Amino acid sequence: MSNTADRRRQLTEKGQTMFEEQCEKLKGAMDKKWKEVEDVLIDSGSCGRDFKKVREVERDLNLKFKDFCVVSGDYKKFLERKNTDESHKLLKECDRFMNQCFSIVKKTSEELKATKFELLENLSHVSSSSSLKRAIAETEKAKLLLIKREGELLKQKTEIDVNLNIVRQEQKIANVEAEADSSEDEVGEDANLPTETVNREQFTSDFVLHNTNPPEAATHQSVNWNNPMGSFMPPPVSHTPYAGHYIPPVSNNLPPPPVSHNPHAAHYLPPLNDNSPPVAQIPQGYNTCPSAITDFSKFLLRKDFLLTRFSNFDDRPETFSAWSASFRSIVQELGVTPFEEMDLLVKWLGPESSKFARTLRSANTHNPTLGVTRIWDRLHDRYGRPEMIESALKGKLDSFPNLTNKDSSKLYDLVDILTEIESAMSNPKCALLLSYFNSSTGVLPILSKLPTSIQDKWATQASGYKKRHCVPYPTFSFFVNFIREMCEIRNDPGLTCAVPVNTKNKPRFQSASTVTARKLEVSSTQKSDNERCPIHNTGHSLNECRGFRKKSLQDRQKFLRERKICFRCCSSQSHIAQDCSVNVKCEICGNSRHATVMHLDRRPQKSGSQSIHSERTSEDHGGEASQHNSGSVGTLCTKLCGNLISGRSCGKIILVDVFPTANPENQKRVYAVVDDQSNRSLISTTLLDQLAISGECEPYTLSSCSGVSTQYGRRVNGLCVKSFDGSDTLNLPELIECNSIPSSRHEIPTPDVAQAYPHLCHIASSIPPLDHEAKIELLIGRDIPQVHHVLDQVIGDKGQPFAQRLLFGWVIIGEVCIGQVHAPREVNVRKTQILNDGRCTTFPLCPYNISVKRTEDELFVRTPDDNKVGLSVEDKQFL
């Protein structure tokens, strides 16, 4: 067996000639591809500090080197098949050459990656400095607002002081006038003095009991915060009721008067002493006016600050504890009522949690206190359970990538996650669930994601800790402090060295000598190469070429890619689509993102267009004649199929509303295809333009039954989809722009389809009628699994369509033609793999399929019939 395997072939003279020709052909193709790789390697030295150019060179290098590997692989397979001495010699030379190429490309690729990381780090420093300046500007704006508020309060204080001065001056004037009046009365009525003796003690007691106002009204005034401005209004000036009724004591030099008094005597006003306090006293509250204004301004500022502290809940269990504590603190300081607290909960909860909060608020309007209690109980059940917090934290660790020595900045993200776990372990509710992090079971999975150098240092630290404290394993807090220390060391600019970049200029290959031709007769109307059609090489441009327009979209993209023509303007080879600044507009759909020649026509083919017919019997169509053999259509089929001779089949297509999360008013009603065979969700260009969403086009690979092709489209985040009745809303993941979404409107389920079948009649009212304005602009893949959940299902007899209730409504699946005699003219399928045993699968097959069998002699193979008696030679002859 070994001699047969090592036997070398001897080629004939003609075979040797063919071998040499084929070798030269494959070797030339391999050298050509390597020259393209060399051109990219030369360009990598001139990238400089341009991040986009570095990324473009890295992408070109990967593509060119991939093509080189494919061609060199073909060359090696050819040499291995020949199995001659010369082929083995050439094979060794090819392996040696490819190893050198691999090392060169690998080294250049690593240098490009290091340059990218360095540029990204510089950009992050610039963005952080700009963020700091922006924060300082916001702080200065806040100070300006406070200064304005303080100025307004000072104005109010000035007005109050002016009013107080006016009141004091009026009081002085009144005192002076009263003193003058009393002097005149004293001079004019000396002869009419009272002649009776007055009891001073009795008069004083009567005065105190009847005429004295309680001083508490003026001395114990408090600031009313519910009506703050009313507390600083000056009180009305009240005249003292006893100012004109006071009788002074009688002089001892006068003769004693009789006991009876004169009832007609005039009231005596005594002279007022300037040194005595004024009659109308100022309340003590005015002495504290400046401090009251300061307290009032602080109250207003604190109230505004409390309102800005509110934040939306993101429906994540790991953030519920912090959000609920902040929300309860703000509500307690504001002193809101239970009904107001319910309104605040509905406003600041997330998309999912606000649904049941809104329901509980509507059901408990008569008892707001009970409603608030039930909302908080539901929130604790949904987001506050320790198991949910543990699962969320574990999910963060599982999704964290493996780090290398170059990923020092990502250690900050790991420290944040570990600090969050450490804080959760201090909570008595979560301490038991997270206790496994204090053992090797919880630490080793985290440690496996770190570089080897950090793992070795942790082994040394952990071993020393175990010996010092005599414990089985260090605590999780010790591990967190160790990672935090490693993060500080690895990210300290003074302790890390920059990766050296090879700046040596590589020798450039000399290009072929140029040939200059001089033309004597030059036409004045000659057009440039960009204005000439590259297909026909005539006077019209590529945008005006009708032959190019007749090609399929994939062929047009392939032609532009081979000629290195811009995908957007289709007229220049000096730039690509993302750098194109030409103003283009499609004359068919009005889109400004592609030229008219790149428009994708979604209209169905007209009946007059050319079609291919085959000689097939009517049995192939279920007993009904084909379209070109019969001109009449029965009423049985037109009930659901209309004028479609090929029948009608319904799929998972539902009516939804799509809108941006930041602008819910800008919603568009479209049809969405629910496709579990697509791993990503897609969105059309038309819908993106209607939602006014812009972005850069990025390449992606589209795999379908027609093959694998590279497409360009935008990637969009921040969109929401809502059912047509508004009952369910869902946040969409990242969507990719694609114009290849199936858009057959005949597959949309309608109420008339459900009414045509007895087992589907009861769901006809749940299916919306056909919306002629809405188009199929969205494809929901299996990256949103909850959309594919079957909540209910209705099936019929064999061969009849069935219905499923999904998250956004009912859909009907299957052939819905009542006659069941149509063969579809258009087939929508997904890629399916067939295993060796005949079973279907959607997973790609392994190209290295190995079949193992015994190689010994078949004479000694054992079978189940070995112990049975066989026929003799005579019996066989007789039979």
Give 856's pLDDT tier (boundaries 50, 70, 90): low
Minimum mean pLDDT range among 617-626, 658-667, 823-832: 617-626
Instruction: Round to whole Å and give the CA distance between 293 and 160.
Output: 11
d(CA 595, CA 694): 17
Average pLDDT estimate for 165-175: 84
Q: What per-residue confidence (pLDDT) applies to 819?
A: 47
Q: What is the pLDDT of residue 309?
A: 74
C-alpha 683/C-alpha 716 separation (Å) is: 9
Domain boundaries, the chain: 7-155, 306-384, 387-490, 528-599, 648-841
| pLDDT classification of 672: cutoffs 50, 70, 90 | very high
Least confident of 26-35, 402-411, 759-768, 809-818: 809-818
Amino acid at 379: L
The predicted structure's pLDDT at residue 743: 80
The reported pLDDT for the residue numbered 735 is 92
Other Cβ atoms closer than 10 A to 411: 21
On the question of pLDDT at 724 being above 90, the answer is no
Predicted pLDDT at 635: 31
In whole angstroms, what is the distance from residue 656 CA to residue 725 CA?
Answer: 9
CA distances from 815 to 633, 652, 821 (A): 18, 13, 10
The residue with greater pLDDT, 221 or 834, is 834
Cα–Cα separations (whole angstroms), residue 3 to 32, 78, 82: 38, 22, 17
CA 748 and chain centroid, separation? 30
pLDDT for position 851? 55
Per-residue model confidence (pLDDT) at position 781: 92
Q: What is the DSSP string of 570-611?
A: SS-SSS-GGG-------TTT--SSS-GGG----SPPPTTS--
Mean pLDDT of 840-867: 64
- Amino acid identity, position 814: G
Q: Note the pLDDT of residue 616.
A: 38
- What average pLDDT does this structure show over 851-865? 64
Please state, rounded to an integer, the average pLDDT across all residues of the chain: 75
Determine the residue type at 431. A
Instruction: Give residue 779's pLDDT.
Output: 94
CATH, range 648-841: 2.40.70.10
Q: How confident is the model at residue 627 (pLDDT cuts 50, 70, 90)?
A: very low
- Tell me, what's the pLDDT at 6? 57
Terminal C-alpha separation, the chain: 43
Q: CA–CA separation, 299 vs 277, rounded Å?
A: 36
pLDDT confidence tier of residue 663, bands split at 50, 70 and 90: confident
Is the predicted pLDDT of residue 609 greater than 60, yes or no? no
Predicted confidence (pLDDT) per residue in 95-150, tens digit:
888 888 888 888 888 888 888 788 877 776 555 667 777 778 888 888 888 888 88
**Quick one: 601 exposed, middle or buried, by C-beta within 10 A (0-12, 13-18, 19+)?**
exposed
Please list the residues that pair with 670 across neighbouring strands: 656
For the record, the structure tokens of 44 come out as: 């990598």
Q: How many angstroms separate the CA atoms of 386 and 617, rounded?
A: 68
Lowest mean pLDDT among 307-321, 512-526, 804-818, 856-870: 512-526
Q: Which amino acid is at 332?
A: Q
Do residues 240 and 279 touch, judged by C-beta distance below 8 A?
yes
pTM of structure:
0.29
Question: Cα 514 to the chain's mean position, in Å?
Answer: 54
Rg (CA), the chain: 46
CB 705 within 8 A of CB 553: no
